[in-house]
Chains A and B, each alone.
Chain A
Amino acid sequence: MISRINALVIAVTLCFCGPLLQIGHAQQAQTETQAVQVIGLAGLRENTKGTLTVVNGTLRFVYAKGKTDVAAASIEDVVTGKDSQRVIGGTFGTVASLAAPYGSGSALPFLRKKVDTLTIQYRDPAGGLHGAIFTMPRGKADPIKKELVAQGAHTSVPILADYIKTLTDSPEEKR
């Protein structure tokens, strides 16, 4: 009897949470994040800063001088990763770490922030393979990957949620 009530409670909860989850998904579809294009996009210099978003089936990178679109359907692989980068980087960071008095500059490399990486491989209209790497604040790469996959991009590494689902589904299949 108790188990029936429990099942009913869960069912009702799911009924109420379902629409909420859909709203959450709809919000994810408008994910926009600050990103750095490390390498790969045609016509862009390395380490170009901009905004990354997924709009109407394309991955859009908007930077100071324009924008670049990559169709989600043309993406053969999208993979996320984790890395870290110096808070005080570039030439200034290097000079500062060398010139700081009493060896205090050696502490500068420890001032790091965690970042997410998003790596994509896609084909141009002529069939040529391109690769591009982006870095963005932590936790921002997975939603973008999810959106890209939902809009037709392929991935060699399954999204974590899918992976967990397959893990939970498999014991039931065995029964």
Chain B
Amino acid sequence: MRTNFRNALAVFVLLTSCLAGQLRAEAKQPAKMKASAVEVKMIPSDEVTLPPEFQVSLYENLIEQLRKRAVFPRVYRDGDRDAGDDADLITLECTVVKFKKGNETLREVTTIAGATSMTLRCEFTDKDGNSLLVRDITGKVRFFGGNLKATYDFAKKAAKVAEENFSSGTAAS
């Protein structure tokens, strides 16, 4: 009888702690913002000089990764006239904060030097220009691959951030 009571108590405590943990985790996660379309702006090369091939590679990889993750049903390119039709369109603008072009040969030979890294400030804004989310995201290539692989790394991380913070649907007022 006593053993049964102890077992029941242990199960109860275990379940309670599990449930509490889950509830706490849910409470920590902010509610996802809703948007059905995103317009990706071309990465400018103003304050920090970015080689044109990196600029284009960042932009194209970003569009590709956002489409792959399917966070937003529609992903528009910079200047696309169709973007204006979407009521809950958000805009993604990334500006280069830090850029270091590495050396592929040095990277492969030494394995510790020659890494390419870049940090971009990504800002999601709504149609009225209000900032919804700002994040600094870093892309790196440390060992294998060309320098442009850092742009792929950045785009993957940026798409993940979008997935964590946005969901498709009609925008909440």
Residues of A within 8 A of B (CB): 38-40, 77, 79, 81, 83-86, 94, 97, 106, 108-110, 112, 117, 119, 121, 123-124, 126-133
* B51 at the A interface (CB under 8 A): yes
A47 to chain B, nearest CB (A): 10
Can you name the residue of chain B whose Cβ is closest to the Cβ of A111? B105
Are A85 and B146 within 8 A (Cβ)? Answer: yes
Are A133 and B57 within 8 A (Cβ)? Answer: yes
Which residues of chain A have C-beta atoms less than 8 A from B97's C-beta?
none
Q: Within residues 60 to 107 of chain B, which ones have a CB less than 8 A from any CB in chain A?
A: 60-61, 76-82, 104-105
In-complex Cβ contact of A128 among B57, B76, B108, B144 (8 A): B76
Are B148 and A123 within 8 A (Cβ)? Answer: no
Are B56 and A109 within 8 A (Cβ)? Answer: no
CA distance A109 to B59 in the complex (A): 28
Are A132 and B56 within 8 A (Cβ)? Answer: yes
Which residues of chain A have C-beta atoms less than 8 A from B80's C-beta?
126-128
* B137 at the A interface (CB under 8 A): no
Which residues of chain B have C-beta atoms less than 8 A from A77's C-beta?
52
CA distance A106 to B79 in the complex (A): 46
* B47 at the A interface (CB under 8 A): no
In-complex Cβ contact of B53 among A85, A126, A133 (8 A): A133
CA distance A130 to B59 in the complex (A): 9
Residues of B within 8 A of A (CB): 42, 51-53, 55-57, 59-61, 76-82, 104-105, 108-109, 144, 146, 148
Are B79 and A81 within 8 A (Cβ)? Answer: no
Per CB-CB distance, the 9 closest pairs between chain A and chain B, nearest first, are A131-B56, A128-B77, A128-B80, A109-B108, A129-B78, A119-B52, A79-B52, A127-B79, A127-B81
Are B104 and A109 within 8 A (Cβ)? Answer: yes
Are A40 and B79 within 8 A (Cβ)? Answer: no
Can you name the residue of chain A whose Cβ is closest to the Cβ of B108? A109
Given contact pairs A39-B61, A129-B42, A94 touches B144 in the complex (Cβ within 8 A)? yes
Are B53 and A119 within 8 A (Cβ)? Answer: yes
Can you name the residue of chain A whose Cβ is closest to the Cβ of B58? A131
Are A126 and B109 within 8 A (Cβ)? Answer: no
- Most chain A CB atoms below 10 A, which of B55, B76, B108, B148: B108
23 interchain pairs, CB-CB under 8 A: A38-B148, A40-B60, A79-B52, A84-B104, A84-B105, A94-B144, A97-B108, A106-B109, A109-B109, A110-B105, A117-B53, A126-B81, A127-B79, A127-B80, A128-B80, A129-B59, A129-B77, A130-B60, A131-B42, A131-B55, A131-B57, A133-B53, A133-B57
CA distance A109 to B145 in the complex (A): 11
In-complex Cβ contact of A39 among B57, B77, B104, B105 (8 A): B57
Which residues of chain B have C-beta atoms less than 8 A from A117's C-beta?
53
B135 to chain A, nearest CB (A): 23
In-complex Cβ contact of A121 among B42, B76, B104, B108 (8 A): B42
Can you name the residue of chain A whose Cβ is closest to the Cβ of B76? A128
Which residues of chain A have C-beta atoms less than 8 A from B105's C-beta?
84, 109-110, 112
CA distance A124 to B51 in the complex (A): 23
